Chains A and B, each alone.
Chain A
Amino acid sequence: MAQEYQQRPRRGDDADEHAEQQQTVQARPSDEAFDSLLDEIDDVLESNAEEFVRSFVQKGGQ
């Protein structure tokens, strides 16, 4: 029956997740091999990042 699946009363105090402070692992200093990797990636990245990202708009899917 559908009722079985109705939401139970909430416990816990999960605040609005957008507002809560985000925790992020400490940024790592990159090693030398990584530096040359970044140079290689620079060469294959689409040009004009701003425009490319802005125009990537999808219709919704599942």
Chain B
Amino acid sequence: MSVAAGGIETEYGIAMLGDDPSNPLHPMYLSHHVLQAWLDAHAAGRTGWDFSSEAPLSDARGHRVARTEAHPDQLTDIETGLVNTILPNGARLYVDHAHPEYSGPEVTTARDAVAWDVAGDTIVAEAGRLAAGRLGHPVRLYKNNTDGKGQAYGCHENYLLLRDVPFHRVVVQFTGFLVTRQIVTGAGRVGIGQGSEVPGFQIGQRADFFEREVGLETTMLRPIINTRDEPHADPKMYRRLHVITGDANRSEVATWLKFGTAALVLRAISAGMVPRDRVEEFTLPNPVAAMHRVSHDTTCTVPLTMTDGANRTAVDVQEAWLEVCRAYLDRCSDDLTEAQRAESVEICERWQQVLDGLRTDPFTLGDQLDWVAKLALLESYRARDDLGWEAAKLALIDLQYADVDPARSLYQRLVERGRMQRIVGDDAIGHARENPPHDTRAWFRGRVMAKFGPQVRAASWDAMIVATADGALKRIELSEPLRGTRALTGDLLDGCDTVEELLTALSGGEPG
């Protein structure tokens, strides 16, 4: 299998209204209070996070940054005393920098990525309501990526790749895909430039914050390809591609296509589907400038000069990738599980339909893509109230589209009026709030949290440390993302009533 699993992580924008301006609550502590309120209400204990396998300074290009040379933002492997825990659905909930973050569990299909991603939105929304009661001030949480004043925060995707795929090939071929996919995955933004220096609307929330082609940083001089080599799995076998260019989407169709098309393209790249003599048709000589140009062109017609000298639009480049993916499915579908194969066919059909729509009239996609839905709303307001792009009301609509609270979210207003297509139902989202995906190690992690949470002292993506009755700490390795599934460990976990029985069963003995 060429791309084994993946997941989506979201940092939410956060604000407390009516705070004392002379002594404001630092957003790091506000984020902590918000998440702690949810944990307390759900009687979920605080496990520690096991940082022993984190390697934020390890670069996929084969070197490490010295800790003394790293920016403090890059040292993400330090215990802070802030909320940092694993949920029974296998996700990680924690304070990252000055934002609450929900990192969804490992999944093997894009549909599951959507379900566990939206489940996170509902958890964070509930956390905000609970915290407001405690703090005595309304709290706002936004699934967006910028404050419009020069700061950005991320919605990252992770794809587990086999280590034997040359990283250089991924860098060269995947960059042009990431630059052009914004026309599908953009969440829409009022304001052009990192600090919204120019009034207007652009497709991407994140685009203007990318300043490099390749690099290790994620909080400054952001690179289109992030090289953090921290696989959270057997490093001899896997690498994790940490994709940091994506927007946080509210539209389920956008999230589904974002995850589904990227996973498929990475499979095709891994399988060597782009012939050596055609690579220059897919690459851009100046991807950073192209990233900004694509985002700033809501007609989706701006020509990009490709490395082979030809001019192509973002739609053309996406369509070329779609053809590569179709060829991959024709030739290599044995790589995929049955569910992945069926979903890949659906992904290709929808991808084609969206690209056709973008070619003829982007406004036909107002019920599928966030940036089009948002732009249609904004244009209606502009027409009704005769507003210029500098109007504060338009920036508020941009912001409030992404409010995670259903009572205030403008995205939710569109859903309730049947104006947004869905991919997963409310039942699937409710299931994903409470349960881990069954087909990755997230199953074992989540079920152990649900059953033995108080005895889990620390956990990470690839290990759990549990305390036995006599106070001993035992480490359970989860280094293979595709083990620890329901099929492999469901009966074993069902048969154990104590942590001691679980440890015995895992070491090969009979539990009990």
Contacts and interface: CB of A to CB of B under 8 A. Distances in A.
Contacts of B146: 58
A14 B383 contact: no
A61 B97 contact: yes
Given A8-B285, A17-B289, A24-B298, A38 B97 contact: no
Nearest to A34: B380
Given A1-B61, A52-B396, A27 B213 contact: no
Contacts of B13: 56, 58
A55 B137 CA distance: 15
B236 interface: no
Contacts of A44: 400, 407-408, 410, 413
Contact of B219 (A11, A33, A41, A61): A61
Contacts of B148: 53, 56
Main secondary structure of the interface of A (DSSP, over half): loop
Contact of B384 (A22, A38, A40): A38
Interface in A16-62: 17-18, 20, 22-25, 27-30, 33-35, 37-38, 40-41, 44-46, 49-50, 52-62
Interface stretch (B301-309, B435-443, B470-478): B301-309
B96 A61 contact: yes
B487 interface: no
B362 A25 contact: yes
B363 interface: yes
Nearest to B289: A14
Contacts of B383: 27, 29-30
A41 B410 contact: yes
B139 to A, nearest CB: 13
A57 B89 CA distance: 32
Given A2-B63, A22-B296, A25-B298, A45 B397 contact: yes
A5 B96 contact: no
B168 A4 contact: yes
Nearest to B193: A18
A28 B363 contact: yes
Residue of A20, A23, A60 with most partner-chain B CB within 10 A:
A60
A56 B140 CA distance: 10
Contact of B153 (A50, A53, A58): A58
A50 B293 contact: no
Contacts of B200: 22, 24
B258 interface: no
Contact of B171 (A5, A45, A57): A5
Interface residues of B, number: 80
Contacts of A22: 192, 198, 200, 202, 296-297
Contacts of B380: 28, 30, 34-35, 37-38
Interface string B97-134: 11100000000000000000000000000000000000
Interface in B199-239: 200-202, 213-214, 218-220
Given A18-B198, A60-B219, A62-B156, A53 B97 contact: no
Contact of A27 (B214, B302, B379, B396): B379
B286 A53 contact: no
Contacts of B304: 12
Contacts of B149: 57-58
8 contacts: A8-B285, A35-B380, A38-B381, A38-B384, A44-B408, A49-B392, A56-B13, A60-B151
Given A14-B293, A60-B97, A61-B154, 5 more contacts: A1-B61, A24-B200, A25-B375, A55-B15, A61-B153
Interface of A: 1-2, 4-5, 7-8, 10-14, 17-18, 20, 22-25, 27-30, 33-35, 37-38, 40-41, 44-46, 49-50, 52-62
Interface of B: 11, 13-15, 27-28, 61-63, 73, 96-99, 146-149, 151-154, 156, 168, 171, 192-193, 197-198, 200-202, 213-214, 218-220, 244, 285-286, 289-290, 292-293, 296-299, 301-302, 304-305, 307, 309, 362-363, 375-377, 379-384, 391-393, 395-397, 399-400, 407-408, 410, 413-414, 417, 419
Shortest beta-carbon contacts, A-B, top 8: A61-B153, A59-B98, A14-B289, A12-B305, A30-B380, A17-B292, A62-B154, A58-B147
